[in-house]
Amino acid sequence: MNAQFETLQLERRGAVAEVWLNRPDARNAMSDAMSAELPAAFSLLGKDAAVRVVVLGGRGSAFCSGADLGRMEQAGRAHGARNRAQAMKAAKFFRQLYTFPKPTIARVHGAAFAGGMGLVCACDVVVASEAAVFCLPETRIGLVPAMISPYVTRAMGANAARRYLLSGERFSAAEAKAMGMVHELVPQAALDAAVERIAQAFASCAPGAMAEAKKLLREVIGAPITAQLISHTASVIARARASSEAREGIAAFREKRKPAWTKSGSE
C-alpha cells in the first residue's frame, strides 16, 4: 500500500488488506494521531476495488489497550463543546468501522481493552489467541464506555454486558468465545493461519453481494418481522438476481470455473 501513516501500517496481499495499529511501546493506545488516521485508512480501503477484506491487528504485545489516558485528561479539561466534538469524531469512526462495506476481521492477541475492545466488537469476525484478554475498565477510573456500547452490547450480548461493562472486570478469550463475542479461538502460533483462512473465504465471494448482505444484516437483526421488512427483503433479492455479479456467478457455477471477481484482487 502506498499510503503513509504515523501510527498505522497498511499492507495488502491480493484481495486482503491488513491495518496494523503501530504504537507497540504504548500497547497501541489510541492517540490523537491514531484516531485521525484510522478513519482515513478505512476510507482509503473502502474506495480500493482491489481490496475485498480488511484485517485489523496490533503490533507488539497487545491488540489495543484503549484510548491514551493523557488524551482523555486533556479532553476532560477542554471546553464542553470541544470535548463533545472530540468524542463525536471517535463515535463516528466506530460507526464507520461497523458499517464498512467490506468484511472486517479482528485479529486479537494480548490485551483488547476499552476502545480496543470497541474496535474488536465493531468488526464482522473476531479471531483471537487463547491468551487474549478483554476488559471494559472505564467505570474503574470514573469514565463510561459510551461510544463503544452499541457495538459491545451487540457482540457480547446484553446479559454479559451488564456484568462486564459495569464492573470493569477482565475476562478471558475463552469466556469471550462462550458469550459469542469471539468467533474462533486458536493458539497464538495458529492465529495468522486462522485469520488467513477466513479472509480467503470472504475473498472468494462477490464484493457487491457481500456489501448488500452486510447492510441487510444491520437492517434485519433484531427488527420485527413486519410486512415492510418482508417487502424490503424481496426487493433486495430481486435486485441481486438482476445484477451482473449474479449473472457471472451463475455462469461460473455452470461452467465449473471460478467467477471473475476472484481474479480481480490477486495482483
Distance CA 202, CA 206 (A): 8
Of the residues 6, 11, 73, 138, only one is catalytic, namely 138
Q: Judge whether 6 counts as a catalytic residue.
A: no
C-alpha cell at position 35: 484516531
Distance CA 122, CA 265 (A): 24
Q: How far is CA 149 from CA 14, 114, 115, 119, in A?
A: 34, 10, 10, 11
In one letter, which amino acid is 33? A
**Closest alpha carbon to 115 in 176, 11, 31:** 31
**Closest alpha carbon to 62 in 14, 120, 18:** 120
Query: If DSSP codes are grouped into helix, strand and coil, which group holds residue 129?
Result: strand
Query: 241 phi and psi, to 5 degrees?
Result: -65, -30
**Closest alpha carbon to 208 in 240, 231, 233:** 240
- Residues assigned a catalytic role: 138
